[in-house]
Every structure is written in C-alpha cells, then in structure tokens.
Amino acid sequence: MSHFSNIKTKIRNLDVLKTTLTNLGLDWKEGPATVRGYQGLTAKAAVVIEQSNDYDLGFSWNGQEYELVTDLQYWQQPLSVEGFLQKITQGYALETVLNESAKQGFAVTEQQKNEDGSVRLVVQRWSA
C-alpha cells in the first residue's frame, strides 16, 4: 500500500515551477527523478525536493497539471503542506504574470511585498 499522497495544484508550466522553487530558495533536483517514501517505496516526479529525513517531495505530471507527491506522515518543511502549497502557488502566479507581461512588451516598474504577504506589481508599456 502506497504511503504517497498526490495533492492537486493548478501548476501546468514546469519551467515556471522550477523558477518559482529557485526564487523561494528551495534546493530541487530535475527529473525524471525518484521521490523516496516509506519503507523504500518510490515514485517518479519531474522535480524532487529532498528532505534530510530521506522522505522527499516532488511534483509529478498527471496529464493535466503537476501534483505534489509526498508522504505526508514524514513532512519536514518549515511550513505546513497547505502553507507550502500557498507559497508555491503565489510564487508561480507571480512568475507567470511577469513572464506573460514581458511577452506582451510590459516592463515591471514596481514590485512590492505587502505585510499581509500579497504582492503589488506595477507594469507599464510604452507605445510608439
């Protein structure tokens, strides 16, 4: 019986996910790589974050989105699973907006993190 939990996300772009993890200061390994779990069980993931207790977490493609794959019993992150996913989702959304804005010719003129954790972003585009 698998101890792994697959937690749905709205993450669909692997490159943006990798940038987000890097921006959050997380050490990750590019896959396909192995997520280590309970009693030597493993799962494959596109990105793996190793934990010091030898129980990893990763993001695995399910055909529509990248799911968080981990053994929740051995979660060893500074944030709860919900807090971790919230931080990843916020960073992913910000990176997506920055990428799409740049593609459309916008430049960031202001980026500010507010006390409540939200991000204020101002972009502008000059037309000739």
Segment 73-95 mean pLDDT: 90
79 pLDDT band, cuts 50/70/90, is confident
pLDDT tens-digit map of 103-116:
988 988 888 988 98
Look at the block and give the residue holding tokens 């937690």: 7
User: CA 43, CA 31: separation in Å to the nearest integer?
Assistant: 11
Decide if pLDDT at 121 tops 90: no
For the chain, give every domain's residue range: 5-124
User: CA 33, CA 42: separation in Å to the nearest integer?
Assistant: 10
Higher pLDDT, 19 or 40: 19
